[in-house]
Amino acid sequence: MNINRSRIYKTDVIILKQAPFLEKDRLITAYSDDYGKLKLIAKGIRSPKSKFGGSLETLNSVSLTIIKRNSLDLITESYTNTTYLNIRNNLSLLSKSMYWIELIDSLSVENEPIEKMFSLTEFTLNLINENQCNDLSLRYLELKLITITGYFPEIFKCIYCRDTLIPKDHYFSFKDGGVFCEKCTNHSSSSLLKVTLDCMKLLRYLNREKDITKIQNLEIDKFILIEIEKFFISYLKYILEKDIKSYEFIKSISNKEFQ
Ligand SMILES: [Zn+2]
């Protein structure tokens, strides 16, 4: 996508990550509503007298003024909209946020905005910051993310014979992007994951429900919660073609909380 922008442009971003660059600079990776993922230079940020202060820390929501250059564009001004203070003071909330940020970084491409990705990320970080993002809410948000990036699978019809699925356990193929009915499983181009009827019902419910407060308060059997978590993580790993490092961080923290 060719995005026209003037030599100096302004945009709101979420900071995804930063890395040292040359002696006193940092390379900032951010996601913006207007331009998708951006890689930008913050000059002099590593000097103690830097005008940027802590405004470009990972997770911050920031308004930026940027100068276009032939190489990496340069941040000239930053205004912090929120730093998500509760997240920074709670390891469990931080681990969920870093997981989300890793998904956004992995699913987005430079200068190719994905509709609703910025607003979904702000919504997610606010929910986590308010400590309102339980496991099922996170699955709901993953489903939204899969939907806006075009990876939402077929869960209503057999992807081979197109028959409407009858209520029983089904077989899911990541590679084929959907579910096979029992009689068509030998047409899959990859190995199949068995998805129980209860898990499938929950997937469909998450797909149609618009009100997150209903999802937050839903009582779900823990075995179905475990199954749907495995389903989403396996599918996301397949889409990203890699492990999700920060997911291991979430698991290590939740395991410690149980000890
Ligand atoms: Zn079929």
pTM of this structure: 0.93
Looking at the structure, do residues 138 and 81 belong to the same domain, yes or no?
no
How far is the centre of ligand 1, averaged over its atoms, from the C-alpha of 174 (Å)?
16
- 251 and 140 in a single domain? The answer is yes
Distance (angstroms) between ligand 1 centre and the Cα of 54 equals: 55
Give the C-alpha separation, 210 to 222, whole Å: 23
Task: Give the distance (Å) from ligand 1 centre to CA of residue 182.
Answer: 7
pLDDT score for 257: 63
199 CA distance to ligand 1 centroid (A)?
19
- Report the mean per-residue pLDDT for the chain: 94
Whole-number Å distance, alpha carbon 233 to ligand 1 midpoint, is 25
Q: Residue 64 sits in a domain of what CATH number?
A: 2.40.50.140
Q: What CATH number is associated with residue 205?
A: 1.20.1440.120
- Paired tokens of 193: 């994951």
CA of 63 from ligand 1 middle (Å) equals: 50
Task: Report the separation in Å between the CA atom of 108 and the middle of ligand 1, taken as the mean of its atom positions.
Answer: 33
Which amino acid makes up residue 175? K
**Domain span holding position 51:** 8-85
What one-letter code names the amino acid at 4? N
Instruction: From residue 142, give the alpha-carbon distance in Å to each of 111, 116, 177, 203, 207.
Output: 22, 13, 16, 11, 11
CB contact set of 35 (below 8 Å; sequence gap of 6+) = 3, 5, 11, 111, 113
**Which of 28, 59, 85 is the C-terminal boundary of a domain?**
85
- Quick check: 259 pLDDT over 70? no
Q: Per the structure, how many domains does the chain have?
A: 2
CA distances (Å), 240 to each of 41, 92, 245, in order? Answer: 26, 24, 12
205 with 138, same domain: the answer is yes
- For the segment 46-92, what is each residue's pLDDT rounded down to a tens digit? 988 999 999 999 999 999 999 999 999 999 999 999 999 999 999 99
Question: What is the model's pLDDT at position 2?
Answer: 46
Does a structural domain hold residue 123? no
pLDDT at 34 over 80: yes
